Structure 1
Amino acid sequence: MDPIARGARAVGRGVREVLLTAAAIGGVICIVLVIMAYAGGFSLIMFKTGSMTPTIPAGSVALVQKIPAADVVVGDVVTVDRVDALPITHRVTSVAPAEGSDARILTMRGDANDVEDPEPYTVADVRIVRGSVPGLANVIVWFGNPWVLGGVTLAASVLVVWAFWPRREPDPPRADGERNVGGEGEEDPVSSGALRRDRRS
């Protein structure tokens, strides 16, 4: 086979393996996140504002876990739900028991803010921040675009078809330097005819 063609085939196989590996890793990550969501109460939240800068800047994505408010201590960064408003994620500055229940009264403040939030929060459970990745929110929003999502789906389908499409490998060179005229397992009509003439003579 031509060295250039052989090199192109090798590059193609390498690219295919890299893309399939990346797709497999992405699938594993999705499966792990689903298991964590159902088994451990984990979820992801995106930060649109910079009230927690520099700890969690705007555009970050945080991994949060639902826990009882009784487990919260001062210094935790938690997300609490609010009536008629979006959830808020700030650092806890004080914790007090709520009379007659397992709920807690939390005062909170963003790391970038000079004052605490206007009102305390009475909650039975919260979502505590376990970690965050800066800038990931923009990537998630970009992938959420219908055109991008459709393109990714189409590209993944093409990749799977390309990876598993049957290919005919070239015949390996023979050790004696002769070429194969027929297909694999077939006789060369020229050489077989010559052999029969030799036997008759």
Structure 2
Amino acid sequence: MTQARHGTATPRPSLWSRAGDWFLNILAVGGVICIVLVICAFAFNITLIMFKTGSMAPAIPTGSLAVVKEVSADSVAVGDVVTVDREGELPVTHRVVTTNALPDSGATYLELKGDANEYADQGLYEVTEVRKVLWSVPGLARVIVYFSNPYVLGGITLAMAALVVGVFWPRREDDTVTDESVVDDDLEVGPR
């Protein structure tokens, strides 16, 4: 005499539940990528700058976001695009026209010119360190400025909180589901 086990298969999660799970997984991977990028930025002195003017157009148009790395001024070459800090003014990001390193003082004189400008900047910049543009993405600065708006950030926060609550909210158990370990003693299986 053999006894049969009664139980039902666990119900399949709904399409919305699976979509929410996938979305949360994608967000988790994005979070890990952000953490790695922040660590790399600190380790390698890499920052972001946004272009508010068109002085570097067409190579780097207004609204571009650039990744820059802090380097020694004597390591830059003619043709590099660098950001130079100016006392009492906003930094300037232009292309290097000439460079003249002064080994005695450790400083370097740079002549810069914006690609869209007719003439080079007035005067030379005496610097020891600059931020060299590694690469840029046109239009990305506008996206970052949009997402920096407190109302947009608040809306995103509320939407993510609702998604987390929706995915992890306890589901109602179906009353017809039985424990798989329950055995019906009255049921006989086999030939009679």
Separation in 2 of the partners of 1:48 and 1:145?
Answer: 17
Q: Alignment partner for residue 40 of structure 2, among 36, 41, 60?
A: 36
In the alignment, is residue 109 of structure 1 matched against residue 103 of structure 2?
no
Partner residue in 2 for 1:9: 14
Gaps of 5+ in 2: 1-10, 187-192
Matching residue's letter, 1:46: M
Runs of at least 4 residues off by over 4 Å: none
Which residues of 2 match residues 31-180 of structure 1 at below 5 A?
31-98=35-102, 100-168=104-172
Name the one with the larger helix percent.
Answer: 1
Q: Quick check: 1:63–1:130 contact (8 Å CA) kept in 2?
A: yes
> CA distance change for structure 1 residues 111 and 18 in 2, over 3 Å: closer, same or farther?
farther
Q: Deviations over 1:37-74 (max 9, x none)?
A: 21000000000011111111100100000011111111
User: Do 1:54 and 1:112's aligned partners in 2 also have CA atoms closer than 8 Å?
Assistant: yes
Q: How many residues align?
A: 173
**Residues 52 and 110 in structure 1, CA contact (< 8 A), matched pair in contact too:** yes
Q: Which segment is superposed worse, 136-145 or 92-101?
A: 92-101
Q: 1:89 to 1:152 in 2, by over 3 A?
A: same
Q: Structure 1 counterpart of 2:178, which letter? A: E
1:94–1:106 Cα contact (<8 Å) kept: yes
For residues 7 and 138 of structure 1, what CA distance do their matches in structure 2 show?
A: 43
Counterpart pick for 1:184 among 151, 154, 178: 178
SS at match of 1:153: helix
Question: Aligned residue for 1:173?
Answer: none
2:17 aligned with 1:23: no
For 1:141 and 1:47, the matched residues in 2 are separated by 12
CA distance in 1, matches of 2:119, 2:108: 21
Q: Give the deviation of 1:151 after TM superposition.
A: 1.3
2 CA distance for matches of 1:182 and 1:118? 83
Task: Summarize the Cα distance change of 1:21–1:53 in structure 2 as closer, same or farther, 3 Å threshold.
Answer: farther
Question: What TM-score results when the alignment is normalised by the length of structure 2?
Answer: 0.80
Compared CA separation, residues 123 and 184, structure 1 to 2 (3 A): same
What's the TM-score once normalised by structure 1's chain length?
0.77
